[in-house]
Amino acid sequence: MKTALDAYRNSMSHEELQDSVIGLAHSLGWKVAGFRKACYSDVLWTTPVLADGAGWPDLFLANEEQRRAIAIEIKSAKDTVKAVQTDWLATLALCGIEAYVVRPEDWHSGEVDRILKAPHRKRPQPYQGESIED
């Protein structure tokens, strides 16, 4: 049975979670890049990308002091990670860039804080992924 605390932990929208992660990252000295969707027509929203950009993580963070770069895919509690997103996260991890999927529960548990404050890691483990939507 779900509790009120469970409902609260899963209540953040994608935008609220993304804004929270960006705010925390900035307060800890990270540079953050992200790209908002643009209106393509009256009914279609898309993120304009070139070449292999489909599935690129929502946020890319760099911290000179920590000498770390992090790719973060933001997902609401019910969103699934698409195959192209998993592919990018895995590729970035293999190239030495930490890659994470962040959900509201990660924000509320303090996991995002731990990720951003963690000491530099020599080589991140390859991204193992979540259940994938094809």
| Residue range 107-123, pLDDT digits in tens | 999 999 999 998 765 54
Q: What is the pTM of this model?
A: 0.77
pLDDT at 54: 82
Quick: pLDDT tens for 5-57.
555 556 899 899 999 999 999 999 999 999 876 655 666 666 666 666 788 89
Give per-residue burial for 3-13: e unless 16+ CB within 10 Å, then b: eeeeeebeebe
**3-state SS string over the chain?**
CCCHHHHHHCCCCHHHHHHHHHHHHHHCCCEEEECCCEECCCCCEECCCCCCCCCCCCEEEEECCCCEEEEEEECCCCCCEEHHHHHHHHHHHHCCCEEEEECHHHHHHCHHHHHHHCCCCCCCCCCCCCCEEC
Q: So what's the pLDDT on residue 2?
A: 52
CATH architecture for segment(s) 18-127: 3-Layer(aba) Sandwich (3.40)
Compute CA 32 distance to the chain's CA centroid, rounded to the nearest angstrom: 11
* pLDDT tens, position by position, 79-88: 999 999 999 9
Q: Domain ranges for the chain, please list them.
A: 18-127
